[in-house]
Amino acid sequence: MSSLETTTQDLPMAKAINAGLRKSLTDSDRVLLMGEDIGTLGGVFRVTEGLKAEFGENRVLDSPLAESGIVGTAIGLAMRGFRPVVEIQFDGFVYPAFNQITSQLAKITNRGRGNQSMPVVIRVPYGGHIGAIEHHQESPEAYFAHTAGLRVVSPSTPNDAYWMIQEAIDSNDPVMFFEPKSRYWPKGPVDFSASAAPLHASRIVRTGTDATLVGHGAMVSMLLQAAEIAAGEGISLEVIDLRSLSPIDYAPILSSVTKTGRLIVCQESAGFVSVGSEIAATVAERAFYSLQAPVIRVSGFDVPFPAAKVETFFLPDADRILEAVDRALAY
């Protein structure tokens, strides 16, 4: 075991995922990586850098530019006992594989009455904040969270990314692993010797008493920023990192709302028929008598993801979050 795996180190999320993939490749020769330019290049974000040289081209495969073919091949490999990990190069490139993911990958286990597991992980860099062009920064997670048969998760910290990618690979169900690309580079502590939190557990990352903020991926750091600003104004905000979008762990959310009486749900994706909508509806249904104000959603607008020059107007920021907090506290 290397020193990397026995110590706590500050790493960017991209390197933490790389370390998690290396650990899984080492632990099982049934784990394979597939994707466009992930081998020699190491991926456009260098998440798989060095893995082909270490494990060989039969374990880390550069694929053709054909997302449907990549996922279809992964399904066949899973049927033969392998545990393929597929990289979709950018979020907007997942749509050519949408039919394979939603019509095949998500349904095969149910179709076979549980006799055929589908241990496939599909890694999707997603979200904005990087000034990219069209189809290179989107938030398509709601499509997949809506699809029965898929598990959908998104880490917000390097430590979670390291552990969650390994848990996803260990799952016998297909997992959509959404990686917030704007969080690839900021560093954070990764404890290589700790126990992993359950893959589908949400987590309170800041305690508070006046209102609850809930989000996932890149939004978590924005929520913490808003909570820090609010603290300077005497407002105590509790922040919850969802971590899992399907299934959603509601227990910490409901417990928090029972305490604070107010909920603001935040996401980068458009608000209509979204993960945030589902959380708002469920909390209103299950914690109605604890709410002192309507659940408020803060999201991207219901338009296609805009050009880089105006993405800051589309993406929620601390000001929009705090404006929602003010509205909630006004009741």
Which pLDDT score, from 0 to 100, does residue 116 have?
92
Residue range(s) in the chain whose domain bears CATH number 3.40.50.920: 203-329
Where in the sequence numbering do the catalytic residues fall? 136
Which pLDDT score, from 0 to 100, does residue 3 have?
47
- pLDDT tens sequence across 25-83: 999 999 999 999 999 999 999 999 999 999 999 999 999 999 999 999 999 999 999 99
Region 208-237: what's the mean pLDDT? Answer: 97
pTM of the model: 0.94
Q: What is the mean pLDDT of the chain?
A: 94
pLDDT over 50 at 225, yes or no: yes
Which pLDDT score, from 0 to 100, does residue 1 have?
40
218-233 in b/e form (b: 16+ CB < 10 A) is bbbbbbbebbebbeee
194 band by pLDDT with thresholds 50, 70 and 90: confident
As a CATH number, domain 203-329 is: 3.40.50.920
221 band by pLDDT with thresholds 50, 70 and 90: very high
Which pLDDT score, from 0 to 100, does residue 195 have?
81
pLDDT over 80 at 301, yes or no: yes
Which pLDDT score, from 0 to 100, does residue 196 have?
81
114 band by pLDDT with thresholds 50, 70 and 90: confident
Which pLDDT score, from 0 to 100, does residue 309 have?
83
Which pLDDT score, from 0 to 100, does residue 5 have?
53
Could you tell me the strand order of the sheet in which 151-153 lies?
60-62, 31-35, 83-87, 121-126, 175-180, 151-153, 244-246
Residue range(s) in the chain whose domain bears CATH number 3.40.50.970: 10-191
Which pLDDT score, from 0 to 100, does residue 150 have?
98
- pLDDT tens sequence across 269-284: 999 999 999 999 999 9
Domain topology for 10-191? Rossmann fold (3.40.50)
pLDDT over 90 at 318, yes or no: yes
187 band by pLDDT with thresholds 50, 70 and 90: very high
Which pLDDT score, from 0 to 100, does residue 7 have?
87
140 band by pLDDT with thresholds 50, 70 and 90: very high
pLDDT over 70 at 4, yes or no: no
134 band by pLDDT with thresholds 50, 70 and 90: confident
pLDDT over 60 at 2, yes or no: no
Which pLDDT score, from 0 to 100, does residue 294 have?
97
Region 95-124: what's the mean pLDDT? Answer: 94
